[in-house]
């Protein structure tokens, strides 16, 4: 047998790794499809009785153009027969490589797989994995490789993060750029850099996940500074919801919503000095305690808490703490004011940031806040911190309360979360 399975350095690193689920973010022309093909052939040759290996691309057309010739080419010595009309390849050991498109869900069902490759998986709906393919791996304890150029911070980013976090021993992830393919002339990459927008180059060649923000907030608007002498303190509290927990009952652990406490000094000319935004997954008591600590430290003119079931849950604890510590604050309802969250955050923050009316405390770490702000609004990127800050808008300007009976906000299930 003369198998040309020479692998590039990065491909070897991934190939040799024993993790059950591998996630690879890699640039265009990095060698993703080539690694997929080699993996499919080797896994097919080692495939246990009664199962197959499968390759899935976003569409059947793509699967055919990317994989068919490549497999025929690389696998010639080990292919017994191949049927282009059903895109199935039978290897010399009688095992099959199935080539499929995620655009035809029915074609993915009813098979037992020992190995699955999902190519350009950032462009395949996550439910194809979660609802359809994961089950196909269960009876043979099959393994899988998820490989793609990034497409913003969607499910692929989440899986990538899971692999980075080490939280789940089954998952491991890697990041490579087009330059990691030694066979590509660096001049070609330089040429692409000159002609593509920095967004496109970052995503396609550097396989960066940091390119999805709609640009509603710009990096150059972020200013740091010192606390102004004169002004009044306000505290806005955004309590974490728990909807996400129920939704993420699958292999991937979504990062959970956080509760956030924004502490801001507002000057006479309306500039906000953001002293800090505290955030965390706190239980009710801890939340109440954290609010109290800030009340004691800052003596704010008002504390706003987002109206709803969570506020109702926290308030008795907070009242109790205020009484015991003889430390009181004016607690106001914060409301969504009939605005969608995106609009609310943009209305409250965009103009202020753009005109330099928001100063972040130079002595605090705002990395996560800035990240959330620049990525806003992007599905799968949290916005708890900008959300909490945006509520200061309601505290610092209104002396009346907005009456919004038509609030489209849904009550959260407090009990399930704690
Ligand atoms: N192990 C390898 N040996 C030789 N050439 C390779 C290897 N891996 C990738 N290449 C070449 O690099 C180019 C891009 O590979 P491909 O797998 O299509 O990348 P991607 O799927 O990441 O866009 C192709 O011309 C391919 O032949
Ligand atoms: Mg490819």
The alpha carbon of 211 and the centre of ligand 1 are apart by a number of angstroms equal to 25
**What pLDDT score does 121 carry?**
95
One domain, residues 237 and 197: no
Ligand 1 site, residue 137, Cβ cutoff 6 A: no
Torsion of CA 320, 322, 323, 326, to 10 degrees: 160
Instruction: State how far the alpha carbon of 364 is from the alpha carbons of 2, 330, 368, in Å.
Output: 60, 26, 11
One domain, residues 356 and 274: yes
One domain, residues 321 and 184: no
Q: What is the largest CA-CA distance in the chain?
A: 83
Task: Identify whether 2 is part of a domain.
Answer: no
**What pLDDT score does 241 carry?**
58
- The C-alpha atoms of residue 370 and residue 360 are separated, in whole angstroms, by 10
One domain, residues 189 and 123: yes
Query: Is the Cβ–Cβ distance between 238 and 372 less than 8 Å?
Result: no
One domain, residues 163 and 265: no
The alpha carbon of 66 and the centre of ligand 2 are apart by a number of angstroms equal to 6
The domain boundary, picked from 158, 181, 204, lies at 204
The CATH code of the domain that includes 353 is 3.30.420.240
**What pLDDT score does 251 carry?**
32
- pTM for this entry: 0.60
One domain, residues 168 and 223: no
One domain, residues 262 and 402: yes
One domain, residues 149 and 120: yes
**What pLDDT score does 212 carry?**
53
**What pLDDT score does 213 carry?**
56
- Atom number of ligand 1 nearest to Cα 36: 17
**What pLDDT score does 250 carry?**
40
Task: Identify whether 98 is part of a domain.
Answer: yes
Q: Which of 71, 181, 189 to mutate to test the pocket of ligand 1 (most atoms within 8 A of CB)?
A: 181
| Residue ranges, the chain, pLDDT below 70 | 1-4, 197-199, 210-215, 241-256, 338, 379-380, 398-418
One domain, residues 127 and 262: no
One domain, residues 280 and 387: yes
Ligand nearest to the Cα of 24, by number:
1
Helix/strand number for the chain, H first, E second: 17, 15
Task: Identify whether 1 is part of a domain.
Answer: no
Report the number of distinct structural domains present in the chain: 2
Q: Which residues contact 273 (CB under 8 A, 6 or more apart)?
A: 225, 227, 228, 231, 264, 265, 266, 267, 359, 361
Task: Identify whether 402 is part of a domain.
Answer: yes
Query: What are phi and psi for residue 176, nearest 5 degrees?
Result: -135, 155
Residue span of the structural domain in which 330 resides: 219-417
Closest by alpha carbon to 255, among 168, 342, 161?
A: 161
The domain boundary, picked from 204, 229, 252, lies at 204
One domain, residues 394 and 269: yes
One domain, residues 355 and 404: yes
Taking a 5 Å cut-off on Cβ, the residues next to ion ligand 2 are 32-33
The CATH code of the domain that includes 73 is 3.40.50.300
Burial 376-400 (b: 16+ CB within 10 A, else e): bbbebbbbbbbbbbbbbbbbbeeee
Task: Identify whether 209 is part of a domain.
Answer: no
- The span from the first CA to the last CA of the chain, in angstroms, equals 60
The domain boundary, picked from 150, 174, 204, lies at 204
Ligand nearest to the Cα of 185, by number:
1
The alpha carbon of 7 and the centre of ligand 1 are apart by a number of angstroms equal to 9
């Amino acid at each position: 047998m003369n198998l040309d399975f020479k692998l590039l350095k990065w491909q070897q690193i991934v190939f040799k790794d024993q993790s059950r689920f591998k996630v690879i973010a890699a640039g265009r022309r990095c060698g993703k499809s080539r690694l997929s093909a080699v993996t499919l052939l080797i896994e097919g040759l080692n495939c246990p009785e009664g199962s197959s290996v499968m390759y899935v691309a976003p569409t059947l057309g793509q699967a055919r153009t990317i994989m068919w010739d490549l497999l025929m080419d690389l696998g010639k010595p080990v292919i017994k027969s191949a049927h282009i009309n059903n895109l199935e390849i039978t290897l010399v050991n009688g095992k099959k490589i199935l080539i499929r498109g995620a655009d035809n869900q029915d074609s993915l069902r009813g098979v037992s797989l020992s190995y699955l490759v999902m190519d350009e998986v950032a462009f395949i709906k996550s439910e194809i994995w979660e609802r359809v393919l994961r089950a196909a791996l269960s009876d043979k304890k099959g393994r899988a490789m998820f490989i793609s150029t990034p497409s913003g911070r969607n499910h692929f980013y989440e899986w990538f993060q899971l692999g980075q976090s080490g939280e789940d021993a089954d998952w491991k992830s890697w990041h490579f750029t087009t330059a990691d393919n030694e066979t590509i002339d660096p001049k070609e990459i330089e040429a692409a850099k000159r002609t593509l927008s920095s967004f496109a180059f970052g995503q396609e060649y550097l396989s960066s996940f940091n390119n999805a923000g709609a640009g509603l907030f710009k990096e150059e608007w972020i200013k740091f500074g010192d606390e102004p002498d004169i002004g009044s303190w306000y505290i806005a509290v955004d309590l974490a919801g728990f909807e996400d927990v129920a939704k993420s009952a699958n292999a991937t652990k979504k990062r959970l919503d956080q509760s956030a406490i924004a502490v801001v000094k507002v000057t006479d000319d309306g500039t906000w000095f953001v002293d800090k935004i505290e955030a965390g997954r706190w239980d009710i008591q801890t939340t109440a305690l954290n609010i109290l600590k800030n009340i004691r430290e800052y003596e704010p003119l008002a504390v706003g808490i987002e109206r709803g079931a969570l506020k109702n849950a926290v308030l008795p604890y907070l009242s109790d703490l205020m009484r015991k510590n003889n430390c009181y604050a004016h607690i106001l309802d914060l409301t969504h004011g009939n605005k969608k969250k995106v609009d609310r955050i943009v209305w409250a923050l965009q103009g202020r940031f753009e005109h330099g009316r928001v100063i972040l405390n130079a002595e605090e770490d705002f990395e996560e806040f800035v990240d959330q702000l620049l990525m806003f609004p992007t599905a799968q990127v949290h916005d708890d911190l900008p959300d909490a800050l945006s509520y200061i808008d309601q505290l610092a300007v209104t002396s009346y309360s907005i009456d919004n009976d038509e609030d489209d906000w849904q009550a959260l299930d407090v009990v399930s979360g704690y």
